[in-house]
Amino acid sequence: MSAIDSTGALNCISFHSTCWSPAGRRAVPSADGLTGLAHGVKQRRQAARRDDTRTARRPDRIVTTAATPRTILAAADDAAIAVAAAHLAAGDLVAFPTETVYGLGGDATNGRAVAGIYAAKGRPSFNPLIVHLPSAEAAARFAVFDPRAARLAAAFWPGALTLVLPKRNDAGLSDLVTAGLGSVALRVPDHEVARALLQASGRPLAAPSANRSGHVSPTTAAHVAADLDGRIAMILDGGPTAVGLESTILDLTGPVARLLRHGGIDRAALEAVLGAPLDDTPVTDDVAPVAPGLLSSHYAPAARVRLDAAAPRPSEAFLGFGPLPAGVTGPAETLSATFDLTEAAANLFAALRRLDAAGAATIAVAPIPAHGLGEAINDRLRRAAAPREGGG
């Protein structure tokens, strides 16, 4: 187990002899050290809150006391999950892997924890959060399930599907989770670390993607550290995510199921279970969002993104689909050399981050087929290419 200070330098915690860094190998911390830390988290948090000399809250930082001055990074074994659960119980934030992308988790019933999520990400508070739960039975405690929701949950949970449902009056969730709306977005993730953490914490976890708002979503622990080091208590490293795209979001608050966001489960599979076509009317920015990932500019690298490019222009980086074209000399990646959309989806965000790090002002992107997972890939690319605040 280790921590990174504000300069990015790696610092070992005293009970562990080796360190982990995003650029290097991680070392599994000792079970004794982690267990001791788990027992101490709550007590140290309580002491820190009583300390009149604690650090004041700053708007760009949610780590405000000496209890968690640096972000802890640990391989996601049972002992680390116990520490993470203790942090969540104390109102801290923990990043964890799911099958889609890494999530930034906080207790969805704790208004302070949820406010911390918005602060850590720099996320607008009108943008609701997805609540993650260990099972459909647990989800039914927080929302009203009609027959459509029950069928979809049976077919796709655990999995990459988020359902927007009427919130139960006795849900007990922080209003910040739902942005004050009468609906709530729920998901049961299909990842052993995520589900173990949900079970260990015993709490519904509000968990958007673990990155700064609007940035490219994280598919590795190193991506999380690059965006949120020093802003959160802990990162559980479960390796690269399998799906690589966020969940599909369906709104079931009306008579017709509405597809709000393309994601890891494609439209055809959903329509087959529902036995009816989905309403896919585009969501516009002038309407208050009922779920995350709906703003027109989102998932964006620092570089501009140019779509449907057969080849890069001089000085552009290139993101291809299939074998890279001959003559490409600048930074280049292919999402899948074999035109595999599943592979392309899993590689999308990591490839965008690598090309962005190469320093080109623009990333040219090859055409992606608009069927199956290609719909979700194209959705993310369109949002990455959309004009941003400040022009462009």
Annotated binding-site residue numbers for ATP: 123, 127, 209, 217, 261, 299
Rounded to whole angstroms, the Cα distance separating 249 from 257 reads 10
Rounded to whole angstroms, the Cα distance separating 240 from 222 reads 10
Is 40 in contact with 33 (CB distance < 8 Å)? no
Bond preceding residue 29 cis, omega within 30 of 0: no
- Using alpha carbons, list the distances in angstroms from residue 378 to 256, 308, 344, 375, 381: 24, 10, 11, 5, 5
Is 29 in contact with 80 (CB distance < 8 Å)? yes
Q: Per the annotation, where are the binding residues?
A: 100, 123, 127, 132, 187, 207, 209, 217, 247, 261, 299
Specify which residues 47 forms β-bridges with.
none
Residue count of the chain: 392
Q: Per the annotation, where are the binding residues for L-threonine?
A: 100, 132, 187, 207, 247
What are the DSSP E strand ranges found in the chain? 2-4, 10-12, 71-75, 94-96, 103-107, 130-132, 161-166, 183-187, 205-206, 234-237, 248-251, 258-261, 304-306, 317-320, 332-334, 362-365
Nearest C-alpha neighbor of 140 from the set 181, 188, 174: 188
Strand order in the sheet with 130-132: 10-12, 2-4, 71-75, 234-237, 94-96, 103-107, 205-206, 130-132, 183-187, 161-166, 248-251, 258-261
Is 124 in contact with 263 (CB distance < 8 Å)? no
R_g over Cα of the chain? 21
- Using alpha carbons, list the distances in angstroms from residue 300 to 25, 293, 353, 370, 389: 28, 12, 9, 20, 12
